[in-house]
C-alpha cells in the first residue's frame, strides 16, 4: 500500500490551465476506474471534485476534468482562478476493500 | 442537512487505546460504506479503514492492521474506530467519511484530533 505519487507543487497564472498527475501501479489506478480527486483548503474538510476517473459531482465547476492512461491519472484545472489555490489529492481503489491516497499537490495561483 | 460529526479525539500515551465515534444525520446511513481518513498535521491524507453498509467488507491500511478495528451500528447511525496499541505516528486529525455509490468519498466530517505522546 504505497501512496500514489503526485508532484509536490504546481503553479499557474489566472486563466491558465494546469494538470496534476497521479501515478500508481497496476494494482490500483491501472486496474480500476475508481479514481477520485479531492480539493483541500486548510482548516476545511476535503471536497470531492472528480470520481470514477472523469465524472464531476453536481456543483463542481466544469473547469475541473479528470482522465487516466495506464497507471497514471490526471486532474486538469482550466481557467485557473484564485479560489482554486489549495492542495489536491488523488485516490484510487486498490482491491480487497483497500483505498490509497496520493501524496498531495499544492496548487499555487500566481 | 447531511452531517457527520466525529468525537473521541484526545491526548493519549503510547501503547494505550482510544475509541473514536462518528454520528451521522440527514443521510440514509445504512445505505453507504463508511471510512476513516487521517491527516498528520502538515502532511497528506491517509486512508485508514473502511466498512461496507452491511459490515461484510472491511479493509485496513497496513499501518493500522491488527491494531485498529472499525465497526458500525446502523440502528444508531454511528461509526466507530477502536484504536489499540497507539503509536506516536498515529497522531493525526481523523475524518469520518461517507463513501458514495460511486466509490468516492463524498461527505466528510470536520474531524477529531488524536495526539499520541508521553
Q: pLDDT for B5-54, tens place per residue?
A: 999 999 999 999 999 999 999 988 999 999 999 999 889 999 999 999 99
Q: Give contacts of B 19-78 with A, CB under 8 A.
A: 35, 37, 44-47, 50, 52, 57-63
Closest among A91, A62, A89, A87 to A77, alpha carbons compared: A62
Bridge partners (DSSP) of residue A108 are A11
What residues pair up with A65 in beta bridges, in sequence order? A76
Q: Do A89 and B110 touch (CB under 8 A)?
A: no
Q: Do B104 and A36 touch (CB under 8 A)?
A: yes
Q: What is the pLDDT of residues A19-30, one digit of tens each?
A: 999 999 999 999
More confident of the two residues A43 and A92: A92
C-alpha dist (Å) from residue A60 to A51, A98, B98, B101: 11, 26, 18, 17
Amino acid A3: pLDDT: 95
Question: Among partner residues B46, B102, B110, which is closest to A45 by beta-carbon distance?
Answer: B110
- pLDDT at site B76: 95
pLDDT in tens, A14-68: 999 999 999 999 999 999 999 999 999 998 999 999 999 999 999 999 999 999 9
How big is the CA angle at B40 (ends B112 and A11), to the nearest 5 degrees? 115
Per-residue pLDDT, B101: 82
Vertex B24: Cα angle to B36 and B46 (nearest 5): 15
- Which of A:86-105 have CB within 8 Å of B? 87, 89, 91, 93, 96-104
Chain B, residues 86-105, CB within 8 A of chain A, namely: 95, 100, 102-105
Question: For the stretch A28-66, what's the b/e string if a residue is b when 16 or more beta carbons lie within 10 angstroms of its beta carbon?
Answer: bbbebebbbbbbbeeeebbbbbbbbbeebbeebeeebbb
In this structure, are residues A24 and A30 in contact, taking their beta carbons and an 8 Å threshold? yes
pLDDT at B102: 80
Q: Is residue A5's pLDDT more than 80?
A: yes
Kindly indicate the confidence band of residue A71, based on its pLDDT and cuts at 50, 70 and 90. very high
* Residue A67 host element (H or E): strand A64-69
pLDDT of amino acid B103: 85
Amino acid at each position: 500500500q504505497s501512496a500514489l505519487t503526485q508532484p509536490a507543487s504546481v503553479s499557474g497564472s489566472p486563466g491558465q490551465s494546469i494538470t496534476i498527475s497521479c501515478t500508481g501501479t497496476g494494482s490500483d489506478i491501472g486496474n480500476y476506474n475508481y479514481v477520485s480527486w479531492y480539493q483541500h483548503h486548510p482548516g476545511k474538510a476535503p471536497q470531492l471534485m472528480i470520481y470514477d476517473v472523469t465524472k464531476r459531482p453536481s456543483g463542481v465547476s466544469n473547469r475541473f476534468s479528470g482522465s487516466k492512461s495506464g497507471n497514471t491519472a490526471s486532474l486538469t484545472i482550466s481557467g485557473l482562478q484564485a479560489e482554486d489555490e489549495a492542495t489536491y489529492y488523488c485516490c484510487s481503489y486498490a482491491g480487497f476493500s483497500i483505498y490509497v491516497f496520493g501524496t498531495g499537490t499544492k496548487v499555487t495561483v500566481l | 442537512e447531511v452531517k457527520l460529526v466525529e468525537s473521541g479525539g484526545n491526548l493519549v500515551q503510547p501503547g494505550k487505546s482510544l475509541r473514536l465515534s462518528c454520528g451521522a444525520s440527514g443521510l440514509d446511513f445504512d445505505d453507504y460504506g463508511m471510512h476513516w481518513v487521517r491527516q498528520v498535521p502538515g502532511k497528506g491524507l491517509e486512508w485508514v479503514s473502511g466498512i461496507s453498509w452491511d459490515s461484510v467488507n472491511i479493509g485496513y491500511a497496513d499501518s493500522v492492521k491488527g491494531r485498529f478495528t472499525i465497526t458500525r451500528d446502523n440502528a444508531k447511525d454511528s461509526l466507530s474506530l477502536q484504536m489499540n496499541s497507539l503509536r506516536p505516528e498515529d497522531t493525526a486529525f481523523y475524518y469520518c467519511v461517507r463513501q458514495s455509490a460511486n466509490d468516492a468519498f463524498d461527505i466528510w466530517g470536520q474531524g477529531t484530533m488524536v495526539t499520541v505522546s508521553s
